[in-house]
Homo-oligomer: A and B are copies of this chain.
Amino acid sequence: MMNKIQLMNLAFDLAKQGGIKTFPNPNVGAVIYKNGEIIGKGYHKFFGDFHAEIHALNEAGENAKDAIMFVTLEPCSHFGKTPPCVDAIIRAGIKKIFIAMKDPNPLVSGEGIKKLKSKNIEVEVGILDSRAKKFYEEYSKRFSKKNSYVVLKYAMTLDGKIATPTGDAKWISSEKSREWVHKFRTKFDGILVGVNTIIRDNPELSSHSKGKNPIRIILDPELIIPINSKVIKDELPTVIIYSNKKDTQKIQQIMKQNKFLLYIKSKDGLIDFKKIIEELRRISIFSVLIEGGGLTSWTALKSGVVDEIVSFVSPKIIGGQNAITPVEGEGVKDISKAIKTKITHFEKIGEDILIVNKVIRNK
């Protein structure tokens, strides 16, 4: 026989095995116990993987009925890549659940517990409270800020272009600048681009071994992403934000590649960026690096979610009335209506000039 402290400690030991790979999700472990025996164990292995509770329930199978579950963090009640864990727990017939800590994410905190209780499942929160607080210290910190941290980044030529009229963008900036960007990416939970950038450049959008990879987030309202894109084919996690549920075949194809589909309603073909940033917080993405293209950057800037702009100016001229510029979309008619920034830092990196700006928000 094991006591609840031992069982919850085991759940934490399991959780730890996820390590950095679950980023930006927290590490979570789960144990299912019945009649003095452990009948299910699980942990969240990597971002995009099933949650810990699901692994444990799968191991327990039908035996989970009337069993007790130990889980290091409140089970989710929202629909992410996988259906909500609470639904699976309810369906499996778990009779009592010990939770080490409520989810610190204010957008979901308490919702899972409420739903479990509403189905008459006994819930006890706070087992191994001190270990939990320490274990989730970094994760909790991320909610201390009210707003997400959103940065827009691009590299343009000396004449303000990010690509030629035919879409050639390799490479605008120097190797040193690109290395700087790869390193810079490791500071973010997510890196977001419009689907046109994927179609045009088929980028890897990784830190190129400079550190942890941010989650790739592709803004693709109509779900037109080519299924053989690097961000779909490779093994790193990708979130695809879409608004068109009709192409079920495409949805199936993407899900088969273990990629995360996030549905957000669009209006006139555009998705509100405030909504995007909010939804990304729900799945633990609090800092986002937007890397274009022109329409995505404009939509993000206009919505007011962008905190900083990181711009590289490269000593090249490509000209062209139809060349592509860093921010396009509708734009403003009068200079007085421009979105204003304040340059907070600038330096030479390789052959290029790096200009860092704070976006000045209108009160």
Residues in chain A within 8 A of chain B (CB atoms): 156-161, 164-166, 168-172, 294, 297-298, 301-302, 309, 311, 313, 315-323, 325-335, 337-343, 346, 348, 351-353, 355, 357
Contacts and interface: CB of A to CB of B under 8 A. Distances in A.
A294 B159 CA distance: 9
A346 B345 CA distance: 13
A357 B320 contact: no
Contact of A320 (B316, B319, B322, B329): B329
B165 A335 contact: no
Contacts of A341: 158, 315-317
Contacts of A315: 340-343, 357
A321 B317 contact: no
Copies of chain A in the complex: 2
Contacts of A348: 343, 346
Given A164-B331, A353-B353, A316 B339 contact: yes
A325 B320 CA distance: 9
A312 to B, nearest CB: 11
Given A159-B325, A325-B325, A348-B343, A335 B353 contact: no
* A-B complex: 5 closest residue pairs judged by Cβ atoms: A160-B160, A320-B331, A319-B331, A159-B327, A316-B338
A355 B156 CA distance: 14
A317 B338 contact: yes
Contacts of A333: 164-166, 168
Given A168-B335, A343-B353, A321 B326 contact: no
Contact of A332 (B313, B320, B321, B355): B320
A355 B352 CA distance: 10
A325 B326 CA distance: 11
B335 A169 contact: yes
A273 to B, nearest CB: 14
B318 A331 contact: yes
A309 B355 contact: no
Nearest to A294: B321
B160 A161 contact: yes
18 contacts: A157-B160, A158-B357, A159-B297, A159-B325, A159-B326, A164-B333, A166-B334, A169-B335, A298-B319, A313-B353, A317-B338, A317-B339, A318-B337, A319-B327, A319-B332, A320-B327, A320-B331, A346-B346
